[in-house]
Structure 1
Amino acid sequence: MLRVLRALGLTVLLASMSLVAAPSASADTRTAIGGGTGIIFRLQPTPEEHKGYYVCTLTAVGRDSAGNLVGLTNAHCFIDEHGNKLVGDKVYRDASPAGTAAAPAPIPDSRPDLETGAIGTVTYVSTPNNLLSTGPKGLDYAVIKLDESRVAPTNTVGGVTITSIGAPPANGTRMCKQGHRTGLTCGIKLGTHGIWFTHLIWTDGGDSGSPVVAGQTLVGNAWGAQHSSPILSIIDEMNANGGVGAGFHLAS
């Protein structure tokens, strides 16, 4: 997560009647999003004339047991300076090009996709990781109810394709993440640290929430300091909480 003003540590066809064929009625004009898509939010003073904002990355897009299209990212993206959880916040797709480890996406270039409009609303914010504080330790995830009239799920973003969900692999196994700020980076799993797992995958501000995958299996969300929360633990907690996100599974 990063705010443009200070670091937190962390993109009309006109058809004439006879000369241009009308588009197919079945054409899907929604914006594709998935694990690894950049998001932008907390736009001040307005999305159209923003001077300050925050950016993160989606962990995954799926459906819950009620059929809602749901996006996941990090909780700390939606906790303000006073500790308030920003349930109800609107989320936009970050229309700026994704970066790479060698050439990170410039934060000042981040911009909301105003053509698509707000893609969803935050419905739940978990306890954040609090790794560097004395606060309670959490899985650090947020649930976003997506607007299916505006966005459609994709299982491939950048260099990562997600086809299944599973547990973190054995220590020493190579894993990768896809983040909007630094793109595809990889490293081995190191071990566990409390409720989290640790790895040597590079992340930077704006990559918070990135999907961590072993092959094409989603195993966790990245939130900095080479830590991630297991996706199966996140799903278990969403199921226990009920509401939007409960019964989460990858969108087909």
Structure 2
Amino acid sequence: MILLSRHLRALRALGLALLLATLSLVTAPSASADTRTAIGGGTGIIFRLQPNPQEPTGFYVCTLTAVGRDAAGNLVALTNAHCFIDEAGNKLVGEKVYRDRSPAGTAFSPAPLADSRPDLDTGVIGTVTYVSTPNNLLNSGPKGLDYAVIKLDESRVAPTGTVGGVTITSLGAPPANGTRMCKEGHRTGLTCGIKLGTHDLWFTHLIWTDGGDSGSPVVDGQTLVGNAWGAQHSSPILSILDEMNAHGGVGAGFHLAT
């Protein structure tokens, strides 16, 4: 009788251990699960946060053009240069960048600028490493392609080819005049319009943009052809890549991340 009782207790203990082990296998998170924040062309960014990221009362917002890798394997993002030039004309190399966690807007309901806030859960997603000559369309300054390079923190973010209504799978030249193209910006979302022509270093179009859309990817289908910087102008992405390669450093040899 005592021996039988001991056997029953041992069997119950073994059954409980097996049950707990099974539950652990079912409920434990996968060790390979990627908890990084996905970002890509069309993701909103926020920076120059004053007085601090936790309680910002002043800040600037723009949109990423694309995310890729350079020849050295760095994960990098592109956006507009003028996003990182202050009122005195200083280029803000070293500026820390956050993802804008506010919902993206649409052309009919633009994302309120006052609602923009840094994604503090993800934290700083990258650091500005290069700022080109801005477009200077409306002044007498030297004309530039208006792009900036951000070295990303790969422990915090992962690249995606799709943001909102735009998917980027290749890089190419602007299409023929009259071709319908689209952009994805954090402020006004997906908007489209035809290519009109060229103007100095840039190409022109009827795609609507608003403040906060600076840097938005302009696509012909799924081909990235430029970065939007306002006044219905964009810089050709292939010209940007040529200049990046000539300059060298972080971003040189840029290709889309896969």
Structures share fold, TM-score greater than 0.5: yes
Find 1:58's aligned residue among 55, 58, 64. Answer: 64
Q: Deviation at 1:22?
A: 1.3
Q: Which amino acid aligns with 2:196?
A: L
Q: Deviation at 1:192?
A: 0.2
How far apart in 2 are the matches of 1:46 and 1:118?
A: 13
How far apart in 1 are the matches of 2:62 and 2:146?
A: 13
Larger Rg: 2
Find 2:237's aligned residue among 211, 225, 231. Answer: 231
* Secondary structure of residue in 1 paired with 2:241: helix
How far apart in 1 are the matches of 2:243 and 2:29?
A: 44
Show the counterpart of 1:28. 34
> Whose helix proportion is higher, 1 or 2?
2
Show the counterpart of 1:98. 104
Show the counterpart of 1:220. 226
| Structure 1 unaligned spans of 5+ | 1-15
* Secondary structure of residue in 1 paired with 2:230: coil
Structure 1 residue runs of 4 or more that deviate by more than 6 Å after TM superposition: none
1:108 aligns with 2:109: no
Deviation digits for residues 193-221 of structure 1, max 9, x if unmatched? Answer: 01100000000000000000000000000
Show the counterpart of 2:254. 248
* Secondary structure of residue in 1 paired with 2:27: coil
| Structure 2 unaligned spans of 5+ | 1-19
Q: Deviation at 1:21?
A: 1.2
How many matched pairs? 237
How far apart in 1 are the matches of 2:115 and 2:152?
A: 24
Q: Deviation at 1:229?
A: 0.1
Q: What percent identity do the matched residue pairs reach?
A: 86
Deviation digits for residues 112-165 of structure 1, max 9, x if unmatched? Answer: 000000000000000000000000000000000000000000000000000000
* Secondary structure of residue in 1 paired with 2:124: coil
Find 2:184's aligned residue among 155, 164, 178. Answer: 178
Give TM-score scaled by structure 2 length.
0.91
1:69 aligns with 2:75: yes
Show the counterpart of 2:7. none
Deviation digits for residues 70-127 of structure 1, max 9, x if unmatched? Answer: 0000000000000000000000000000000000000000000000000000000000
Q: Which amino acid aligns with 1:94?
A: D
